[in-house]
């Protein structure tokens, strides 16, 4: 299980809305003074855009800091779905157009069309993953005050 | 066909973006503590490098060269890369909000990844055709992802190893990176370029 910290920002009935605390991929979360990437990932709007909801079985209240997790292979599955499928479709279309026509303009148009087609396939595939619950974060436990991720 | 295969092998292994050209070292050290985060970052970077290189090739061929605006190349490419990252972010969000929740953290980091700009500038230097430049960019980013994943695997094993206290953490990481670079130098025997 891949773990991360999040803050509860709203509770609506049986659903809790959380904002992820981690602001960069280096895992420095609360050690923001040591993070060179903090300027590009910490704006309020960016965190708000990444807000997510959980079923509030644990009785979470606004302001609580919790540990949430996703399955080990979920990140790999998600990145393959979002990026590998459109890339494969795009390169496949480009290779066929180059083989058939051999012109830069036609190849470029075919690659753009392949990219759009690939994004459509990725959308269907992501919908299937979401409906199986493979991409949803889960509540694991409440975080102790002062606990931060280790930088190593 | 053979020239495309050689071009891709050269870009991915012989002239590896990280270990031969020393680009993208920030993410190489920062995001390689786990294999799955390395894969996530690698795939996102692969997508952005490939898409932005296509756009950079079009801008260079149809705008900068015909109008003699070569001195604006770096600034223009940075703008194109930022736009490509923004496009990717919007697309992933539209395609699947759940994917965006998981992968969104990597995208802003790519804007400042020098490997993306470095590959785009290498394409101009190489004066390649559209398909060659796209394959070069794709192979370069596959090489980047490959090294990220290998290094993440080594660091996961290092975390369990009995390392002397002074070397624990980043110092042993740098030593392992240098050994990995030495190993990749072996591929330079495959090509005279």
| pLDDT tens track for A59-110 | 888 888 888 877 777 878 888 888 899 999 999 999 999 889 888 889 999 9
The interaxial angle of helices B114-126 and B35-59, nearest 10 deg, is 40
How far apart are the CA of A59 and the nearest CA of chain B, in angstroms?
23
Of the given ranges (A30-39, B62-71, B183-192), which has the lowest mean pLDDT? A30-39
Using CA atoms, how far residue B56 sits from A88, A108, B90, B144, in Å, is 20, 12, 19, 19
Tokens of B112: 């400042």
SS3 for B107?
A: helix
- pLDDT over 50 (residue A125): yes
User: Is residue A67 within 8 Å of residue A142, measured between CB atoms?
Assistant: yes
**Radius of gyration, alpha carbons of chain B:** 18
pLDDT score, position A46: 59
Rounded CA separation B39/A40 (Å) = 21
Look at residue A9 and give its three-state secondary structure.
strand
Nearest to B40 among A24, A52, A75 (CB): A75
Query: Is B192 contained in some domain?
Result: no
Q: With an 8 Å Cβ cutoff, are A86 and B98 in contact? A: no
Question: Per residue in A12-65, pLDDT tens?
Answer: 888 888 887 755 444 444 544 444 444 444 555 556 666 777 777 778 888 888
Cβ count within 10 A of residue B142:
20
Contact A40 B138 (CB under 8 A): no
> CB distance B99–A81 less than 8 Å?
yes
The segment(s) of chain A belonging to CATH 2.40.50 are: 2-71+136-142
Q: What is the pLDDT of residue B189?
A: 75
Asked if B154 is an interface residue toward chain A (Cβ–Cβ < 8 A), one would say no
- ipTM exceeding the 0.90 mark: no
Residue B113 contacts A where some CB pair is shorter than 8 Å = no
Q: What is the average per-residue pLDDT within B18-25?
A: 88
Q: What is the domain class of A2-71+136-142 according to CATH?
A: mainly beta
Number of domains in chain B: 1
Six-digit token string for A17: 């809305």
DSSP state of B104: T
Residue B137's domain spans which residues?
2-185
Percent of chain B whose pLDDT exceeds 90: 34
Q: Which of helix, strand or coil describes residue A139?
A: strand
Q: At B94, list the tokens.
A: 């539209």
Looking at B39-110, which runs of residues are DSSP E strands? Answer: none
What pLDDT, on a 0 to 100 scale, did the predictor assign at position A148?
55
pLDDT classification of B163: cutoffs 50, 70, 90: confident
Whether the CB of A15 is below 8 Å from some CB of chain B: the reply is no
Chain B residue at shortest CA distance from A37: B109
The Cα A125–Cα A29 span in angstroms is: 31
A38 part of contact set with chain B, CB < 8 Å: no
Give the pLDDT mean for A128-150: 72
Is A49 in contact with B104 (CB distance < 8 Å)?
Answer: yes
Cα–Cα distance between B104 and B95 in angstroms, integer?
13
Q: Return the pLDDT at A27.
A: 47
pLDDT at B175 over 90: yes
Q: What are phi and psi of A61, to 5 degrees?
A: -120, 160
What pLDDT does A25 receive? 47
Residue B48 is assigned to a structural domain of this protein: yes
The C-alpha atoms of residue B10 and residue B14 are separated, in whole angstroms, by: 5
pLDDT at B170: 85
Record the pTM: 0.81
Band the pLDDT of B96: cuts 50, 70, 90: confident
Closest alpha carbon to B193 in B2, B49, B6: B6
For B108-172, give the DSSP string: HHHHT-HHHHHHHHHHHHHT--HHHHHHHHHHHHHHHHHHHHHHHHHHHHHHHS---GGGTTHHH
Token pair listed for B3: 């020239």
Q: pLDDT digits over B98-117, tens only?
A: 777 767 667 777 777 888 89
The values of phi and psi at residue B190, to 5°, are -80, -15
A32/chain B closest Cα distance in angstroms:
14
Which of A20-34, A138-152, B80-94, B148-162 comes out lowest in average pLDDT? A20-34
Check: CB of residue B65 under 8 Å from CB of residue B56.
Answer: no
Q: Give a yes or no: residue B79 inside a domain.
A: yes
Residues in A closer than 8 angstroms to B44, CB to CB, are 79, 83
């Amino acid at each position: 299980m891949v773990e991360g910290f999040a803050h509860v920002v709203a509770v609506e009935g049986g659903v809790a809305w959380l904002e992820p605390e981690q602001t960069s991929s280096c895992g420095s979360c609360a050690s923001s003074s040591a993070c060179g990437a903090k300027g590009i990932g910490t704006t309020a709007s960016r965190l708000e855009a990444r807000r997510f909801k959980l079923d509030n079985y644990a009785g979470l209240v606004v302001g609580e800091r919790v540990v949430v997790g996703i399955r080990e292979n979920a990140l790999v599955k998600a990145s393959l779905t979002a990026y590998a499928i459109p890339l494969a479709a795009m390169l496949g279309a480009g290779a066929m157009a180059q083989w058939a026509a051999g012109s830069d303009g036609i190849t470029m148009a075919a690659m753009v069309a392949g990219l759009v087609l690939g994004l459509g396939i990725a959308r269907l595939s992501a919908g299937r993953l979401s409906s199986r619950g493979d991409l949803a974060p889960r509540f694991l436990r409440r975080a102790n005050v002062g606990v931060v991720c280790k930088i190593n | 066909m053979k020239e495309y295969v050689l071009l891709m092998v050269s870009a991915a292994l012989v002239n590896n973006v990280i270990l031969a050209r020393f680009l993208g070292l920030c993410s190489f050290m920062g995001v390689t503590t786990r294999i799955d985060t390395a894969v996530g970052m690698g795939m996102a970077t692969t997508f952005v490098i490939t898409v932005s290189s296509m756009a950079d090739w079009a801008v260079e061929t149809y705008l900068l060269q015909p109008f003699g605006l070569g001195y604006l190349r770096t600034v223009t490419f940075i703008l194109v890369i930022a736009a490509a990252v923004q496009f990717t972010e919007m697309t992933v969000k539209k395609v699947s909000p759940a994917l965006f929740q998981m992968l969104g953290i990597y995208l802003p980091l790519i804007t400042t990844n020098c490997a993306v700009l470095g590959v785009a500038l290498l394409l101009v230097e190489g004066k390649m055709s559209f398909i060659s430049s796209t394959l070069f960019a794709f192979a370069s980013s596959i090489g980047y992802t490959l090294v990220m994943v290998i290094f993440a695997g080594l660091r996961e094993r290092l975390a369990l190893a009995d390392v002397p206290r002074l070397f624990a953490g980043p110092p042993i990481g740098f030593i392992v990176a240098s050994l990995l670079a030495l190993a990749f130098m072996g591929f330079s025997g495959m090509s005279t370029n």
